[in-house]
Amino acid sequence: MSTYQEQSGRSPPFVLHVVGDIAPSGEAIGLQIERSEQGPVDLCIRTEDVKYLVSLLLNLGCEARRRQSPPPPDAPPTEAIPLPLDAINVGQSDGDQPFLLLEIGITSLMFMVSPACLEQVGQTMLTLSANSSAAPS
């Protein structure tokens, strides 16, 4: 982005709206990205590359949040879009680091987690599963 700013002397266009569609074969995802101050851009991403794009965006989002000042304590929580989760896997890397692997559609995302965080997730899942199995049918 800084290269764009240096060359043009202005800030880059921001994304205003994104719509998408799936190829009939399921082998590609098309995106039309509407940008401020410029026309729309059409992108076609191979389905197997979605995981790389999602991982890249998540990593950049983490770095962007790190660079921002912390939100005020009374700020509303950020909204999340519910995604259909196909599978959850828990494991340990070769370096004994626990990880959580989530599969959403054709995308697998692996998150390295601390043992304390993994314990909290496990306890929450046990509690929720016990509550749902104890409910009358």
The string of pLDDT tens digits covering residues 14-73 is: 899 999 999 999 999 999 999 988 889 999 999 999 989 988 998 898 899 889 888 788
pLDDT of the residue at 136? 61
Give 4 or 75, the one with higher predicted confidence: 75
Tokens 């912390």 correspond to what residue? 70
Rounded to whole angstroms, the Cα distance separating 61 from 77 reads: 16
Q: Using CA atoms, how far apart are residues 52 and 59, in angstroms rounded to an integer?
A: 10
Give the 3-state secondary structure of residue 121: helix
* pTM (predicted TM-score): 0.64
Q: What is the C-alpha to C-alpha distance for residues 50 and 109, in angstroms, rounded to an integer? A: 11
Residue among 78, 74, 51 at smallest CA distance from 65:
78
Cα–Cα distance, 44 to 83 (Å, whole number):
22
* Three-state SS at 13: coil
Residue range 67-112, pLDDT digits in tens: 988 878 887 877 888 889 999 998 898 888 899 999 998 888 898 9
